[in-house]
Structure 1
């Protein structure tokens, strides 16, 4: 019992050492943009918590992919958490690239892909091309539903549909709402139904349901890094302390997956999830805030 008490006190002191001096500085307000999907909300909550500890007043604005990049280009938001580069968001960011600074890489290995529930036999459906097999066409749900209008997932999925001739095989690509999209996988897992799930990592559904990623020989979806981008003029106006701390933040795919799971499944407020994770990982946070 005493040992646990000392450990708790140690965690609290570590956080005080990290955060305490930051409150003393007066820093400019920040408008932070994030895409309105919950895994972006999870990372945004951590970045917001860090910036607030550094003394910034943070206003968060959300929108779909094209809307947020439009606001970033117009200077209506100061930063974006986060841009998937170089593939998923590359075309959206390219016109703005000279105006932006890549401030931090939150995680490597970000991937978009098509998957099937694990109960679909790999001997029958191993790749996207296998979806055209007559026996697969006869059994597979012909609706392929993705999320995020203008997202890399939908743009790439449309290219996959065309490249592999899936429309002529009877498949349709549709845009759905996130809760309906997630429910499709839950229902298919429970019922044994065959379906295709446009998916990505980090994504909390990967932690809830067994899925298998399909091979995609054309390589339309690449592997990305998730980057916090800041308008160059804004970045240069920030205190050196803010720039240093922000540049050190790394989370990793397992962390983001778990944060999103708590937000969606456990229904915890994003700010609470972010703060609780930071308190539970004082050594990581201390390294961000180290002098």
Structure 2
């Protein structure tokens, strides 16, 4: 049910143990002293915003926070059923449309955390544009040979993977295999290919720190199979605002510039997301004031 914890996220592994009660224990309100439960996925941007939210909620608002790491689809279900209080990684209007259309009646949209996000397939910059510039070019025999008919993906429940499956159909790439794995596994495969100067196509998104570390480019998507620019929303269960009013007021105002988020993600690669969240909050008192302006 839950993703295995990679070493890079070992400091948050207790969330997996806490998450074992996910299927049977409904989220409880602040009145009885129970923790606020935040669902998260092992994606770089999700880990960054989740750590910032956790620290603000605990240190500034006085609630205890439990982090539950699980598949994005299970997060939607958990919030809808009241087993999670909130999730901070809802890609709308396109990527998570299927989840939203099915469950929106049981969910509360708390607003946009950041926008101008993007899904896509990327290749190392050394891959010749003359040969591979568009997803449609993957159908060329010489390109198929270089890529071994594979596209490196992320975890199977992600909206990006569902969109990527649609892209394979849209461009009639039936002989390609979409490899599944975590965000970390995707980056490892990319790093290995770059060191060997091999061709590789990875499913990815903006914001992601790997665009700062590696020279990459998105493949053009003339069919718009992977969608356009999107916004990332915070989604809460019904009753969340009544049970955790201060946290709800904060999350409604929790906005972060995309450039700031990418900077946190890049630095956290060499330190930790917890440390970089702490540093960001400390160095942005004006931002913190805006986040908390409606907290009473």
TM class by shorter chain equals 0.7 to 0.9
> Secondary structure of 1:206's match?
helix
Q: 1:92 aligns with which of 86, 99, 114?
A: 99
Q: 2:285 aligns with which of 264, 278, 282?
A: 282
Deviation string 1:106-150 (CA, Å, 9 cap, x unpaired) is 110111101111111222211111111233233234221111122
Distance 2:74 2:270 in 1: 29
Q: 2:53 aligns with which of 47, 56, 62?
A: 47
Is the counterpart of residue 127 in structure 1 residue 142 in structure 2?
A: no
Q: Which residues of structure 1 form unaligned runs of 5+? A: 1-24
Is the counterpart of residue 118 in structure 1 residue 125 in structure 2?
A: yes
Number of positions where the alignment pairs a residue of Structure 1 with one of Structure 2: 262
Moved more, 241-250 or 154-163: 241-250
Say if 1:244 and 1:73 are closer, same or farther in 2 by CA, change over 3 A: closer
Q: Give 1:28 deviation, angstroms.
A: 6.6
TM-score, structure 1 normalization: 0.83
Equivalent residue, structure 2, for 1:38: 44
Map 1:97-246 → 2, pairs under 5 A: 97-168=104-175, 171-222=176-227, 223-239=229-245, 241-246=246-251
Deviation string 1:233-268 (CA, Å, 9 cap, x unpaired) is 1123333x44333222111222222222333x2142
Distance 2:271 2:278 in 1: 15
Distance 2:240 2:289 in 1: 25
Distance 2:163 2:216 in 1: 20
Distance 1:93 1:51 in 2: 26
Distance 1:127 1:167 in 2: 16
Q: Which residues of structure 2 form unaligned runs of 5+? A: 1-29
**Cα contact 1:65–1:148 (8 A) shared by 2:** no
**Cα contact 1:28–1:238 (8 A) shared by 2:** no
Q: Give 1:232 deviation, angstroms.
A: 2.5
Aligned Cα root-mean-square deviation (Å): 2.1
- Greater relative contact order, per chain length (Cα 8 Å cut-off, separation 6+): 1
Q: Give 1:200 deviation, angstroms.
A: 0.6
> Secondary structure of 1:167's match?
coil
Map 1:240-259 → 2, pairs under 5 A: 241-259=246-264
Q: Which has the larger radius of gyration?
A: 1
TM-score, structure 2 normalization: 0.82
Distance 2:182 2:53 in 1: 26
